[in-house]
Amino acid sequence: MKNVKKLGLGLFIMSLAGVALGCSSDTSTKKAETKKEDKTEEVKKDQATDSGDLGDFHVAIQDFSRGQDFEGSEVGIVQYEFTNNSEDNQMFTVAISPKVFQNGVALDSAVMTEDGFSDGLTEIQPGAKITIKTAYKLADTENPVSVEVSPTFSLKDEKLTKEFTLQ
């Protein structure tokens, strides 16, 4: 129930952030956008990278392991490192949009009962770093899994990718 409340809060905050971004327009925002564009170019040069700056955030796709969800189904667990380089407190699940694929099809998120799987909803201050583990229901236990992360609020085509084999 605690995780459901955190998820609901995260979605509510994400909605508010979208409204706030759509309504703001001042010169300081334009200056910040110029700085973001400089960082974006670095990421675009190496599209097959597993770590880098995505807007005001640094993300690393670190590790992949396997486990079982609360129903006993096979899951893949992706570990991310998230650094908040913005001027405001932020949550991974609000700032970053992770997508995980197997056989070209997006995998569904899995519900885990163990500790450490709700860290994506933990708010961190500017300059802080956190490790996040997120579980996804595997389609099978043989084919590779590819991970893509991109900023949630961006008009640019910036993303990080990494592929994991299931051996």
Residues 28-49 have pLDDT tens digits of 444 444 443 443 333 333 345 7
- What pLDDT, on a 0 to 100 scale, did the predictor assign at position 42? 35
As a whole number of angstroms, the distance between CA 31 and CA 37 comes to: 10
35 Cβ contact partners less than 8 Å away, ≥ 6 residues apart: none
pTM above 0.85, yes or no: no
As a whole number of angstroms, the distance between CA 162 and CA 60 comes to: 10
Judged against a pLDDT cut of 70, whether residue 92 lies above it is answered with: yes
State the distance between the two ends of the chain, measured CA to CA, in whole angstroms: 34
Average pLDDT over the chain, rounded to an integer: 79
Dihedral angle of Cα 105, 78, 125, 33, to the nearest 10 degrees: -40
- What pLDDT, on a 0 to 100 scale, did the predictor assign at position 23? 44
Q: What is the pLDDT of residues 103-117, one digit of tens each?
A: 999 999 998 888 777
Per-residue pLDDT averaged across 114-129, rounded?
87
Tell me the CATH number of domain 51-164, given options 3.40.50.880, 2.60.40.10, 2.40.37.10, 2.60.40.1240. Answer: 2.60.40.1240
Judged against a pLDDT cut of 80, whether residue 27 lies above it is answered with: no
Least confident of 7-11, 84-88, 97-101, 161-165: 7-11
- What pLDDT, on a 0 to 100 scale, did the predictor assign at position 13? 52
Confidence of residue 98 (pLDDT cuts 50, 70, 90): very high
- What pLDDT, on a 0 to 100 scale, did the predictor assign at position 167? 72
As a whole number of angstroms, the distance between CA 26 and CA 118 comes to: 35
